[in-house]
Each structure stands twice: as structure tokens, then as C-alpha cells.
Amino acid sequence: MGNTSKRYSAEVQERAVRLFQEHVHEYPTRWAAMQSIAGKIGCTAETMRSWVVKAEAAADPRRNASLADRERVKQLERENAELKRANEILRKASAFFAQAELDRRGK
């Protein structure tokens, strides 16, 4: 798969963020606004989100720390959920093999 990343000029990024800020109230969620505007700009919604986050952090440096904290909490929650799934799989596998060993010994 080739590298599909594109570089957008600062002007395009600023215009996209300005469009978002001016029209976000017209959408049910911030993400819906990002998806819609990203489609009009020609970038992905995730690219749009990163531009908005950077612009908001630059506008209010105090938010930068709380945004980073929220992103870190989200990341840790995802990791925690993945570890819980892995532990459940391991628990079931352990019980399966323990039962198989008991069955083998019983014969």
C-alpha cells in the first residue's frame, strides 16, 4: 500500500478550522461537523480533528494540558479493555487445558 498522506497548506488548514468553528453549532456533534467539513476540504475527519485540536490548544494553552490528559485517559481505557479481553481469553484457555488434563488422567 502506498503512502497516501497529503500535505495541506497552512491556509487550507486555517480555513478548515475556521469553517469548523463557524459551523460546529449546526451539527449534532463535533465529530459530525469534522466529518462533513473534512469531506468538503478533501481531507480525512481524523486530519480535521487534529487541526482543530491544535488550533484550540494554541488559542488556549491551559486547555492543552487537559486535552493531552483526556487523550491519555482514552488511550489507557482502550489498553485496559484490550487487557481485560486478553485475560478472559487466557482464563478460558487455562480452564480448558486444565479440564483436558483431568480428562486425560482419568483414562
What's the predicted TM-score (pTM) here?
0.53
Query: 94 and 68 in one domain?
Result: yes
pLDDT digits (tens, 9 = 90+) for 48-101: 999 998 898 888 767 667 777 888 999 999 999 999 999 999 999 999 999 999
Q: For residue 56, what pLDDT is reported? A: 86
Q: For residue 64, what pLDDT is reported? A: 63
pLDDT digits (tens, 9 = 90+) for 11-32: 999 999 999 999 999 999 999 9
Q: For residue 5, what pLDDT is reported? A: 54
What is the radius of gyration, based on Cα positions, of the chain?
A: 23
Whats the size of the chain, residue-wise? 107
The number of distinct structural domains making up the chain is 2
Query: 51 and 69 in one domain?
Result: no
Q: Could you tell me the residue range of the domain that residue 101 belongs to? A: 64-107
* The one-letter amino acid at 93: A
Q: Is residue 2 part of a domain?
A: no
Contact 74, 68 (CB under 8 A): no
Q: Could you tell me which residues come within 8 angstroms of residue 57 by beta carbon, excluding any fewer than 6 positions away?
A: 63, 64, 67
Query: 35 and 74 in one domain?
Result: no
Q: Is residue 3 part of a domain?
A: no
Burial category of 50 from C-beta neighbours within 10 Å (exposed 0-12, middle 13-18, buried 19 and up): middle
Domain harbouring 16, CATH code = 1.10.10.10
